[in-house]
Structure 1
Amino acid sequence: QGPPVRPSGHHRRPNHTADVGVQLWAVSGASCPEGSVPVRRITEADVLRASSVRRFGRVPMARVRRDTVAGGHEHAVGYVAGDEYYGARASINVWAPKVSTPTEFSLSQIWVIGGTFGNDLNTIEAGWQVSPQLYGDNSPRFFTYWTTDAYQTTGCYNLLCSGFVQTNSRIAMGAAISPTSGYKGGQFDISLLIWKDPNHGNWWLEFGSGELVGYWPSFLFSHLASHASMVQFGGEVVDTRAEGSHTATQMGSGHFPGEGFGRSSYFRNLEVVDWDNSLIPLTTFHVTADHPNCYDIQGGVNAVWGNYFYYGGPGRNVRCT
């Protein structure tokens, strides 16, 4: 197949107030031979950290925000719903949140969602994640995920099962992102665009300024074969309550949104792709937090960042037990 048709408005670059994060693997300028792609090496230790070989690289149940908090997953997200969506774009502030136990994680991502929140849930997901169990360290890593049955039997992270087709020889899925943002220090973002190519119907992923990473074939999906019914942006953590109280795993920077730029993590320049393959600003944008005393979210709009929000928090504190 030929290259995808990028959405109109694609070359209208967001105003950059922060630098773009770079993958560690690519800092040296290395790339793979033509016709091949970089794959993060999976070690025996990676697999041993999973509960079983079969579960390696898959997500625990109840991964997407629902009306009730289930499975220990907690969210602070913004979303649009009630229309037909053909993609989404955002610039995501990159931090290295602390994760309290190896079986927990902290992520910040875009969800492109089709179907209901029952067993027919379809999602395409991309962002950054700190997951000691999956990667063996506490570095934020570029990742993708997909499912067609609410995380039950289909889908996986990155390239750990067939599904996502990588076309890029320079970007390694699951590679660490560097540099990361610092409290009252430098702020670093990654820009991600997910959209449905109108020519072939596949869902493409772009990283940074025009770097095509690969695509999810349309035939993987039921609802997303045609379009998405919801787009969600934000943070998620797993709370295992390993010590009998709320986890101290951080979301975003580990600081609440009220602290603002340079202290709290953000998403900015949020857009969706419409039926005409055009990037457009969000309308009727909602924000919600499962446990706002643990992790919260505050949205806004301005001329430089368009639709944006600050989100995150420290987890366990005097108001979050």
Structure 2
Amino acid sequence: MKILIGLVVLALVLGQHGVQGERSTIFEDMNLEEQLMILNKPSIKTFHTEEGDIFDCVDIYKQPALDHPLLKNHKIQMRPTSLPEGLINEPASIATSSLSNGVDCPQGTVPIRRTQKEDLLRVKSFSDEYQLTKNIHPHTTIFPNQHMVSLAPNYLWALYYGARASISVHHLDINNDQYTTAQMWLGRRPIDQYSIQAGWMIGSKITGDNLTRSFVYWTKDQSKKTGCFNQLCPGFVQVHKQVTIGSVLKEISVYGEAQKSMDLSVFRDRNTGHWWLQLNGAINVGYLPKTLIPQLVEGLSDIAWGGLAVNPPNGHSPPMGNGHFPKGNFTTAASFTAVKIVDSTNTYRIPDDIDVKFLVENRACYNIEFHGKYLNEGLAFLYGGPGGDCKD
């Protein structure tokens, strides 16, 4: 096992800056009302959740993703044409799914979370406040106001075609100027400028509340001019009529009890080149078309699983995971289990536990505890910590 303080990852905070970069490209010279008219399509039916979200059931062929200039003639793919082998593809209960939000749109429509003017203002404000250098590289200094804990396979010359993990879901009390995530990073060199990220996060600076929500993010130029968070700009194609990205995760783990997890997969459809986001091995939420990130069609050079905690400059760091240090117990610390990669044969494979690398940026505030192959389902590790004054 190789413990390395160096890992090619693109922090989500940079992705948020990229949200505004992509928006400025697509919505150039548009005011907020004009942007909202593009993002909020006419609905067939509307759902109001108890958390205050509004989901509009939009004609699947008129969803905002298709307003992206690269998707004008895009033919929607309703399901993956090829699944990685070794994935148990059993029907999953929507009612117990960790992405369920009580929405059930009519056939031929998909749920799109309604974008409010405040969402657009919040993204711009966040981008302006977190102006950071985007050049994250294995040998550069970690930014002082963001802290990462992660695991990655250490195959220097291998290419990957997807990743999966069962990620325990938690709620944390954090300040309004902080955010924290549990996620997968999938990228390609140089310097991971092409990447996809997915998992769960908490952070009112981005979502408008401190609830635990799912997310997906993508960029094809290290977040300089392209990239998008969830559906705040065109890109991610929604196909499931009940489960959508950006929803509140209602099944939250309780300290000392069996953990509640989201079983998340991101993989390339080897026939079409699209990158699918799948839940529980059966719920095909949607996908990122290959035309958005054509550089990833040939495969990924970097994958990582872990947590990210971000605070404002000179502020205290938020908790990560479930807010507790890992101490050998899967009921008292946050976890990633069933960790696998998709290899060149389009097969889910467990990485060799003797050839993985870790990033633990500040052990005074966070840590990681590796458990190797766990229950024969994949690699597993515990991670997290309370945060606090994490200055070096």
Which bracket does the TM-score occupy, shorter chain normalised? 0.7 to 0.9
State the shift of 1:236 in Å. 0.5
Alignment of 1:24-39 (within 5 A): 25-26=101-102, 30-39=103-112
CA deviations over 1:132-167 (Å, ceiling 9, x no partner): 122221111011000111122211111112221111
| Corresponding residue to 2:161 among 86, 94, 99 | 86
1:180-220 Cα distance to aligned partner (Å, 9 max, x none): 11111342000011111111111111012400011111122
Query: CA 1:222–1:22 in structure 2 vs 1: closer, same or farther (change >3 Å)?
Result: closer
The match for 2:236 is 164
- After superposing the two structures, state which structure 1 stretch, 307-316 or 35-44, moved more: 35-44
Structure showing the higher helix proportion among its residues = 2
Structure-2 residue corresponding to 1:6: 83
**Structure 1's 65 and 142: CA in aligned 2 closer, same or farther, altered over 3 A?**
farther
- Aligned positions of 1:258-297 closer than 5 A: 258=327, 260-283=329-352, 284-297=355-368
How far apart, CA to CA, are the structure 2 residues paired with 1:214 and 1:59? Answer: 30
AA partner of residue 101 (structure 2): W
**Using the alignment, how far apart are the partners of 2:325 and 2:124 within structure 1?**
33
Contact 2:238 2:244 in 1 (8 A): no
The whole-number CA distance in structure 1 between the counterparts of 2:96 and 2:363 is: 29
Distance 1:10 1:312 in 2: 28
The residue number in structure 1 matching 2:184 is: 110
Distance 1:185 1:63 in 2: 40
| Structure 2: distance between partners of 1:197 and 1:301 | 28
| CA contact 2:79–2:284 (8 Å) conserved in 1 | no
Moved more, 181-190 or 228-237: 181-190
Gaps in structure 2 of 5+ consecutive residues: 1-76
Q: Tell me the CA shift for residue 108 of structure 1.
A: 0.5
1:173 matched residue in structure 2: 245
Q: Which of these two proteins has the greater Rg computed from alpha carbons?
A: 2
For 1:2 and 1:316, how far apart are their aligned partners in 2?
A: 45
In the aligned structure 2, how far is the partner of 1:225 from the partner of 1:33? 33
Q: Which of 132, 155, 172 lines up with 2:204 in the alignment?
A: 132
* Percent identity of equivalent pairs: 31
The C-alpha deviation readout for 1:267-315, integer Å capped at 9, x for no partner, is 0010000111100101222122111211111112244053111111111
**Conserved? CA contact 1:74–1:291, under 8 Å:** yes
Local SS of the residue matching 1:282: coil
Contact 2:365 2:388 in 1 (8 A): yes
CA contact (8 A) 2:78 2:239 kept: no
Deviation (angstroms), 1:263: 1.4
Distance across 2 between alignment mates of 1:65 and 1:205: 26
Residues 294 and 320 of structure 1 are in contact (CA less than 8 Å); yes or no, is this contact kept in structure 2?
no
Residue type matched to 2:177 in 1? T
Q: TM-score, normalised on structure 1?
A: 0.86
Tell me the matched-pair count: 304
Describe the SS at the equivalent of 1:38. strand
Higher strand fraction (1 or 2) = 1
SS of the aligned residue for 2:101 comes to helix
Counting only pairs closer than 5 Å after superposition, residues 87-236 of structure 1 correspond to structure 2 as 87-100=162-175, 102-117=176-191, 121-236=193-308
Residues 10 and 24 (structure 1 numbering): CA distance in 2 closer, same or farther, change over 3 Å? closer
Q: CA deviation at 1:51?
A: 3.6
Q: CA RMSD in A?
A: 2.6
Find the aligned partners of 1:206 and 1:279 in 2 and give their Cα distance.
Answer: 14
CA distance in 2, matches of 1:201, 1:177: 29
What is residue 98 of structure 2 aligned with on the other side? Answer: 22
